[in-house]
């Protein structure tokens, strides 16, 4: 039992430490938004190239020749798009920022629609989220294409900071719960543990009869 609680404590501490690392990385991304935006664009382009090559490689598994050709051509096109993103990062940043703007607009409209549908219940958070999403999209559009130089890095930094804070809180809470459980276990005397085991054995040998 002690080894289990120690393992759980270590896992919780690692969880908390990982949260602090994410918070630090998020702060760096916000302080250097252009560098973080370029890094994100590079990662997206590399993933696109890798995904396209994987799709093209496994095209032979399709049933018909038409499907094989279609999947192979799709993988090659995906690879070309990734390569173009890698070699034209500024244009890629502008394109990804436009995608982010579209996502914010769609999410804002959806949140306002949900607020309207749930207007007799708790709708305040939906309204706030929808207004913030549309306002952020408006700011990005107003400053575009300059906003593309910092938008992705800033948003990414804010996102991983929130994730890091969640991990920190979860790690601290789980550590406290494990410590409380360990204290309760330590308060149980060997005699009490033996009596519980004996009572369980007796109940196993003498099951209660099923009622009709």
pLDDT reading at 193 higher than 50: no
207 falls in which pLDDT band (50, 70, 90)?
A: low
More confident residue, 118 or 70: 70
Spatial separation of the C-alpha atoms in residues 21 and 105, rounded to whole Å: 31
Q: Which residue has the tokens 């033996």?
A: 194
Q: Looking at residue 162, what is its pLDDT? A: 81
H helix or E strand, kind and range, residue 40? helix 33-57
What per-residue confidence (pLDDT) applies to 182? 61
Residue 189 pLDDT greater than 60, yes or no = no
Give the whole-angstrom CA distance, residue 126 versus residue 129: 5
Q: Is the pLDDT of residue 35 over 80?
A: yes
Provide the pLDDT confidence category of residue 176 given band limits of 50, 70 and 90.
confident
Model confidence at 156, pLDDT cuts 50, 70, 90, reads confident
């Amino acid at each position: 039992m002690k080894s289990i609680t120690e393992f759980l404590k270590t896992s919780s501490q690692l969880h908390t430490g990982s949260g602090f690392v994410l918070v630090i990385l998020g702060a760096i991304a916000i302080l250097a938004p252009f560098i973080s935006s370029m890094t994100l664009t590079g990662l997206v382009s590399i993933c696109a190239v890798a995904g396209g090559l994987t799709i093209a490689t496994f095209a032979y598994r399709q049933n018909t020749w038409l499907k094989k050709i279609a999947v192979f051509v799709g993988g090659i096109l995906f690879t070309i798009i990734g390569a173009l993103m890698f070699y034209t990062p500024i244009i890629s940043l502008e394109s990804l920022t436009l995608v982010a703007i579209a996502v914010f607009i769609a999410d804002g409209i959806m949140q306002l629609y949900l607020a309207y549908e749930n207007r007799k219940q708790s709708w305040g958070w939906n309204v706030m989220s929808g207004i913030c999403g549309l306002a952020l999209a408006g700011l990005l559009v107003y400053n575009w294409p300059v906003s593309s130089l910092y938008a992705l890095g800033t948003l990414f930094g804010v996102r991983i900071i929130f994730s890091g804070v969640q991990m920190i809180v979860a790690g601290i809470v789980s550590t406290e719960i494990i410590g409380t459980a360990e204290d309760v276990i330590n308060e149980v005397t060997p005699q009490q543990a033996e009596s519980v085991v004996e009572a369980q054995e007796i109940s196993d040998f003498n099951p209660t009869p099923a009622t009709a």
